[in-house]
Chains A and B, each alone.
Chain A
Amino acid sequence: MAANRFNAFQTHGVGIGLRIPHYDHIFSHKPAVDWFEIISENYMVDGGRPLRMLDRIMDQYKVVQHGVSMYFGSSQAPDREHLRRLKTLVRRTRTPWLSDHLCWGSIDGTYSHDLLPLPYTWEAVEKTAARIRLVQDFLEIPVAVENVSSYAAFTDSQMTEWEFLNEVVERADCGILLDVNNIYVSSVNHDFDPIDYVNAIPAERVAQIHIAGHTRYEKYILDTHDHPVIEPVWQLYARAIERCGPTPTLLEWDDLIPTFDEVWAEARKAERYLKPLETPAEHQLLAGVAL
């Protein structure tokens, strides 16, 4: 199940996000990381060190692109220059699939550079799915959408977040990048049971899973990617793997970045859960848990 058409039938194992402070370690020690996820926008440039480093990484590792500013949920048309540059990068990396977020972040040509939440309305479902289809058709590779952490809910919402996600991916016929840390963060911020979310997603569409740490404040949790993964998030991850089977898994660590070895050790904890299921019946049984 985990190798599916939404991740181009790849069987990537555990990877980590490629970050500049780790370049030297990677080039000098050549650690046995199965794959790296790159932030597309960091390499959508015309030349220089970013592309040179990327080429060196690609000489030795599998790379998958992850974007932060396609804004599938923005109500207006995508920026053509963004799409053109993204396709150029896709051709360079030959990424088997590409992911970005189920959110919005720009309006009238002004960018927030944040992952702003969507109202869970039918209008947003239709517009978001149409935009994903457009991007997927233009890029000619599978696209997976990632659920975001959110801190606000909208008065106009007509469904739960997971119902919204399911409606969007069904209409767009795209994959899901399931971020179990984001599910946990949002579950605390919006008072729902995170296991309900994990149980509701269409397992056959999950192309990839994200794990990460976060920061807890008195009244809410912020998705900061600057801590190890906490146990409740590992539990969600375990449940996701039960449902989806071994799935390409990626640890994000974006702030207060520790040494490469620390980040890699944290990511490898995911291997505890990635043992393949024994029989097709087990897969079917677990997939059938979906509501």
Chain B
Amino acid sequence: MIQPMNLEQLQRTMAAAVMLPLTADELMQPTNSAGRPMTEVAAEFIQPNSRLTAFDRLEIYNRQYWFRLQSAFTEDFPALRAVVDPARFESLMNAYLAAHPSRSFTLRNLGSSLHAWLTANPRFAGPRFALAIDVTQVEWACVEAFDNAELTPLSLAAVAALGADSQLGLQPHVQLLALSYPADDFVLQMHQRQKRESSEAGTRTGDSAIHAVKRLRLSKKATWLAIHRADDSLYYKPLTRPEYQTLAALRSGTTLPEALQAGFAGLRIAAPRQVALVQQWFTNWAELGWLCTPLPEPFAS
């Protein structure tokens, strides 16, 4: 006789079944990862009714789980889908979601590990791996820039009044990217297309996106980029390499002099020119409201 499970055991058993990857036909698998028939697993804790077996009833939840996660993931990465092609994207998505199920109360964070995972699993990206990696970074940066915090910005005068060893913070919504391709325009195009299509028909990014990417001929070119938010809209701002390096150093928590040193590291730029650039950058960053006091937890990253 089977002993009843306590609540925690039952929930762990059901979660394992619900999160079991679907078959190619989007049905529940006949056996679990241990090779046990799912008919047996389901019958252990689910009652059948006159129309549905225990397996059928569990399968409803299994399918809903995957459809919900797939829908959220696809919505966040339309450009990646177009780059790797839809069929490959399905495999990539399912493998990623199996490896990284949601660990957050919100689906907003579903793609947080995608860049690291795809870097470690290049076969899922196919022949355009480097571009796929860049596009993944840009799309995740958009998620972060959309609703990360905006703290009280520092004015240029406030920055100028800081001591020599001061630290500066960067607004949490400002996302810094170093890319191999100028992928930003393409991602922007795909996101605008997705927005248009979903508002018109409530559908996923369609075939037109796939045709657009087939025509895409991007050449490798080192690209530094900031994605940030202003008046609730996202903007992509190209950066120079020293500008990017300085901002990245500031974000990592270095002092101002250390950040500037990191910014010009490996570059032969004359001192007067460096001074002029730094003045120009800080004026610009302060106008954009990017600078703030060093971030308290949990914003620091």
Which A residues are within 8 Å of any B CB, using their own CB?
A: 21, 41, 44-52, 69, 74-76, 79, 81-82, 104, 106-114, 116, 119, 121, 123-124, 127, 151-157, 189-191, 219-220, 222, 256-257
Complex CA–CA separation, A23 to B208 (angstroms): 28
With A47-B148, A114-B18, A151-B61 as known contacts, state yes or no: A74 contacts B11, CB within 8 Å. Answer: yes
Q: How far is the CB of A80 from chain B (nearest CB, A)?
A: 11
Say yes or no: A219 contacts B51, CB within 8 Å.
yes
| Contact pattern, B 222-256, Cβ under 8 Å of A = 1, otherwise 0 | 00000001001000000000000000000000000
B64 at interface (Cβ–Cβ under 8 A)? yes
With A48-B173, A112-B18, A152-B46 as known contacts, state yes or no: A41 contacts B61, CB within 8 Å. Answer: no
Say yes or no: A124 contacts B106, CB within 8 Å.
no
Say yes or no: B147 contacts A47, CB within 8 Å.
yes
Q: How far is the CB of B298 from chain A (nearest CB, A)?
A: 8
A114 touches which of B44, B61, B104 (Cβ 8 Å): B61
Say yes or no: A107 contacts B7, CB within 8 Å.
no
| Contact pattern, B 93-115, Cβ under 8 Å of A = 1, otherwise 0 | 00000000111111110000000
B149 at interface (Cβ–Cβ under 8 A)? yes
The segment out of B52-60, B157-165, B182-190 that lies at the interface is: B52-60
With A21-B199, A155-B46 as known contacts, state yes or no: A44 contacts B106, CB within 8 Å. Answer: yes
Say yes or no: B44 contacts A152, CB within 8 Å.
no
Q: Could you show 30 A-B contacts with beta carbons less than 8 Å apart?
A: A45-B148, A46-B147, A47-B147, A47-B172, A48-B147, A48-B150, A49-B147, A49-B232, A51-B147, A75-B8, A107-B11, A109-B103, A110-B15, A110-B102, A110-B103, A111-B103, A113-B68, A113-B102, A116-B18, A119-B10, A121-B7, A123-B6, A124-B7, A153-B57, A156-B4, A156-B5, A157-B47, A219-B51, A220-B52, A256-B202
Complex CA–CA separation, A252 to B110 (angstroms): 25
Say yes or no: B101 contacts A219, CB within 8 Å.
no
Which B residues lie within 8 Å of A110 (CB)? 15, 19, 101-103
B23 at interface (Cβ–Cβ under 8 A)? no
Complex CA–CA separation, A45 to B232 (angstroms): 13
* Given A110-B102, A119-B10, A191-B50: 20 more A-B contacts, CB < 8 Å: A21-B199, A46-B148, A47-B150, A47-B173, A51-B147, A76-B8, A81-B105, A82-B105, A107-B15, A111-B103, A111-B105, A112-B18, A114-B61, A114-B65, A123-B6, A152-B54, A153-B49, A154-B47, A155-B45, A220-B51
B146 at interface (Cβ–Cβ under 8 A)? yes
Say yes or no: B10 contacts A69, CB within 8 Å.
no
A153 touches which of B47, B102, B104 (Cβ 8 Å): B47
Say yes or no: A219 contacts B52, CB within 8 Å.
yes
> A-B pairs with the 4 shortest C-beta distances?
A46-B149, A48-B147, A45-B147, A152-B57
Which A residues lie within 8 Å of B69 (CB)? 113
Say yes or no: B147 contacts A50, CB within 8 Å.
yes
Complex CA–CA separation, A189 to B92 (angstroms): 35
Say yes or no: B51 contacts A127, CB within 8 Å.
no
Closest A residue by C-beta to B171: A47
Which residues of B (72-108) have their CB < 8 Å from a CB of A? Answer: 72, 101-108
B273 at interface (Cβ–Cβ under 8 A)? no
Complex CA–CA separation, A157 to B58 (angstroms): 16
B128 at interface (Cβ–Cβ under 8 A)? no
Complex CA–CA separation, A91 to B49 (angstroms): 45
Which B residues lie within 8 Å of A156 (CB)? 4-5, 10, 45
Complex CA–CA separation, A108 to B103 (angstroms): 9
Complex CA–CA separation, A108 to B50 (angstroms): 34
Complex CA–CA separation, A123 to B5 (angstroms): 11
Closest A residue by C-beta to B107: A113
Q: How far is the CB of A128 from chain B (nearest CB, A)?
A: 9
B36 at interface (Cβ–Cβ under 8 A)? no
| Contact pattern, B 185-218, Cβ under 8 Å of A = 1, otherwise 0 | 0000000000000010010000000000000000
B221 at interface (Cβ–Cβ under 8 A)? no
Say yes or no: B7 contacts A75, CB within 8 Å.
yes
Q: How far is the CB of B202 from chain A (nearest CB, A)?
A: 7
A41 touches which of B18, B101, B105 (Cβ 8 Å): B105
Complex CA–CA separation, A121 to B5 (angstroms): 11
Which A residues lie within 8 Å of B47 (CB)? 152-155, 157
A119 touches which of B7, B54, B107, B149 (Cβ 8 Å): B7
Complex CA–CA separation, A207 to B239 (angstroms): 54
